[in-house]
Amino acid sequence: MEGSGIARTTLFLYGTLKRGEKSHRLMAGQRFVGAAATEPRYRLHDLGPYPGLVADAAGVAVAGELWEVDAAGLAELDRFEGVPDLFIREPVAVQGAAGPVEAYLYARPIPPGARCGSSWPLG
């Protein structure tokens, strides 16, 4: 964030870290930017207790939230998300985003028969 002296990364959250979800406590001290959606290049898969975002050329616009996260928060989130074994953090295309945005993409094969959709929890 310009002028604050603190480097922040803009993250797109789509699952259990969103407001009102079970892991949202990990976002304490970070800045909510607003509701957002990806470009229709992704798909959200139901992995049981949490979703996994994957790139998909025939994808959909996935609903979520944008957050500005400081370096300490990002390190904690990387540990929580199991980077790089379970998830990887990389740039994603978000509709109307003014700058770069990153998200946690699922780094393993999707289980056969996993339901998919555009928002968590899946309906």
Q: Would you please indicate which residues are annotated as catalytic (active-site) residues?
A: 81
Encoded amino acid at 47, one letter: L
Q: DSSP for 18-58?
A: STTSTTGGGGTTSEEEEEEEB-S-EEEEE-SSSEEEEE-TT
Q: How many CB atoms lie within 10 A of CB 26?
A: 16
At 101, is the secondary structure helix, strand, or coil?
coil
